[in-house]
Amino acid sequence: MKRLLRRQSLRTRLVLSFTVVIVTTAGLIAVLSYLIVNNRFSYIILSTGHMLARQLAPTFADYYTRSGGWDGVETLMATYQDADLGGSRHISGPLQGRNPLRPSTLFQAQTATQIIEERLLLVDTNGKIIADSDPEGKSLHIQSGDLSKGAPVIVNRQRVGTLLVASSLGELLPSQRALLTDVNILMAVAAIVAVLAVFIVGWFQTRNILAPVRSLADAAYGIAGGDLSHRIPVTSQDELGEMASAFNTMSAALEQQQILRQRAMSDIAHELRTPLSVLKVNLEGIQDGVTAPTPKVMGRLLSDVDHLNCLIEDLRMLARVDAGEFKMDMMPVEMCDLVENVIERVRGAAKARDIALTTRLPDAAMPIVGDRQRLAQVLFNLLSNALCHTPPGGQIAVGACWVDQEVRVWVQDTGKGIPARDLPYVFERLYRVDQARSRETGGSGLGLAIARSLVEAHGGRIWAKSKQGVGSIFAFVIPVAAMHKREARSVANH
């Protein structure tokens, strides 16, 4: 059975599951309802028959008193059959000339029909039938236990008989059987209608539920095939809608990452090809005797080799950080001192570009725990980026401060700013805001990516804010508490 279900579609399995559950539930309800209805119906019939017998018992007691026995009681039973007519069938004996079982004299009008239809049995103390209002009816055998279902006929404080109603013994009237049959048919029809309704609703509902799932599967196959442009229509606000939105977000992120990865591969190829081409041309010129190996020529060659070496080293470091193999040399670092040292390293370059370089540092020391060399590299990369994008006559400000349990360092420039569409990607590898700039004017595009990796390796975060025509602010924070924990782990490892 399980193998058969596994071969079916999810829609078929859901519908079958719903149908089985509803059929089982409806069947159980129908069976329980049948038992309850029959039980309560039998109880009502028994109670009504017992009440009817008690109401009629005094009449039969009066007959017994007047007649001195049960002789001729069949005539009294015969008047019961004619009670609906309110007539005066001939009665002999003590009750001659009147109808003692006329309903209007015994019951309210609503019980008259029941009295007429019910079959009365008069039995003696041994359970033997003395008189029957329907002697031609089905033969009934009275058990000793059945006497408790009737009403005793008491004369002079002695039980001279028992009056029973046949329906109390399980002999239902045609109208009672018809009513019980109608109720059972109604429950069966209701159960069938419920099953059909659930089957139909479940069929259409599963189609609506599985439509986004099919769209998701198609889109997933498309993405697996390399087409990352697939999106799923969001048609609801429920969990399926959330699933579609999450998938679309994932697809957009994958598509963007693919674009960045393709751009990175192209940029890496360009970064490697350009210095290699220059090296090849110069070396071929030296080999052919066209170019003399002067110190100036050799200096250019060494510069290209250094560029290649730095690029490869940067890529290797990023790969090690991604793989979790990058080791941090954690030690106490005074952040203000580190900032001033880095500023001194770039002050000459700033002066050569006619860029004013200022600092905004607190008077108090800012001790943290971190890798001094890597934190200096982060700040150096941010300053180098600011120098590249700040025109002559501009300004660069570097500052540091405490923010809660974190040290914040920021670099602000008065460059041309970063377009809003490019701002989310400035920390991506080899991403250039100006795609037309060369490595001589814009570097390799790895500086900010390295800065982000190193900051995150310290447990911090880095971000950028910019406004075109005004300038940019790059900032990063290092959580002090996290650094102490890292230091403790580093000491424990050593």
How many domains is the chain built from? Answer: 3
Q: Are residues 351 and 442 in the same domain?
A: yes
User: What six digits make up the tokens of 3?
Assistant: 């193998």
Is residue 410 located within the same domain as residue 486? yes
pLDDT digits (tens, 9 = 90+) for 172-203: 767 777 877 888 788 788 878 877 887 787 77
Q: Are residues 267 and 135 part of one domain? A: no
In contact, 101 and 58? CB cutoff 8 Å = no
Q: Of the candidates 175, 204, 229, which is a domain's last residue?
A: 175
257 belongs to a structural domain: yes
**Spatial contact of 367 and 333, defined as CB atoms under 8 Å apart:** yes
Decide if 222 is inside a domain: no
At 481 the pLDDT is 55
**Domain stops at, among 141, 175, 209:** 175
Q: Which helix (H) or strand (E) holds 286?
A: helix 239-288
Q: Is 379 exposed, middle or buried (CB count within 10 Å of its CB: 0-12, 13-18, 19+)?
A: buried
Domain check: are 481 and 386 in the same one? yes
Within the chain, which residues score under 70 in pLDDT?
1-11, 79-117, 173, 260, 264, 267, 270-271, 322-326, 430-445, 481-494
Is residue 60 in a domain? yes
Q: Please indicate, yes or no, whether residues 456 and 316 belong to a single structural domain of this protein.
A: no
Evaluate whether residue 221 is within a structural domain. Answer: no
Report the CATH number that the domain containing residue 485 is assigned in CATH: 3.30.565.10
Is the overall model pTM greater than 0.85, yes or no? no
CA 441 distance to own-chain centroid:
52
Residue 26 lies in a domain: yes
**283 and 309 assigned to the same domain:** yes
pLDDT of residue 383: 93
Q: 372 with 404, same domain? A: yes
Q: Are 407 and 366 in contact (CB under 8 A)?
A: yes
Q: Kindly state the helix (H) or strand (E) to which residue 154 belongs, with its residue range.
A: strand 151-155
Please check whether residues 35 and 162 belong to one and the same domain.
Answer: yes
Q: Identify the domain boundary among 150, 175, 200.
A: 175
Domain containing 312 equals 239-322
Long-range CB pairs of 174-181, under 8 A, 24+ apart, other chains included: 175/117, 176/41, 176/45, 179/41, 180/37, 180/38, 180/41
Beta bridge partners of 162: 123, 152
203 in a domain, yes or no? no
316 part of a folded domain: yes
CB 366 within 8 A of CB 335: yes
Q: Are residues 400 and 255 in the same domain?
A: no
Q: What is the CB-side half-sphere exposure of residue 227 using CA atoms within 13 A?
A: 9
Same domain, 283 and 337: no
Are 305 and 346 part of one and the same domain? no
**Residues 146 and 54 grouped into a single domain:** yes
Is residue 94 one of the residues assigned to a domain?
yes
